[in-house]
Amino acid sequence: MTDKPLEVGDRAPDFSILDGDGNLVTLDGLRGKTVVLYFYPRDNTPGCTKEACGFRDRYADFQANDIVILGVSTDDAKKHAKFTQKYDLPFPLLCDTNAELSTAYGVYGLKKFMGKEFMGINRTTFVIDPDGQIAKIYRKVKAEPHPADVFADLVSKA
């Protein structure tokens, strides 16, 4: 966890990480574009699938507005590749296998589910502006309506 939670207006933590296809993705390489960086717990789980498919279904609209979508979980490249192929996801899924990126963004921590405690990603989305500043943070995301909400928020500001 970071010392203090990230807030709107903070500089987004830089990253250099591989996606599910083995391509290196860097925040620096995305300067000049709006980036939707969404953190989700696991590939192929019900909520995560709904969220990913929601971003997929609106992908052309995001692209038309020069907005980059990046999904992040602690799954490895093999799991990401299967998930991407199964649901025809057109955007990169980043392999945060050591939870370094999710820790830098303050979304990796203790979770509770069905009486068990474990470490994992809390579903959170960051919108990063073209200058690398955090423009919006969505915490405690509801997976299904979330992609539409993000898109509506971004285009209403345009």
The residues assigned a catalytic role are: 48
Spatial CB neighbours of 48, under 8 Å, sequence gap ≥ 6? 40, 41, 42, 73, 143
Q: Where are the beta strands (DSSP E) in the chain?
A: 16-18, 24-26, 34-39, 67-73, 93-95, 108-113, 116-121, 124-128, 134-138
Question: Please, how many CA atoms are within 13 Å of residue 101, restricted to the half-sphere of its CB?
Answer: 27
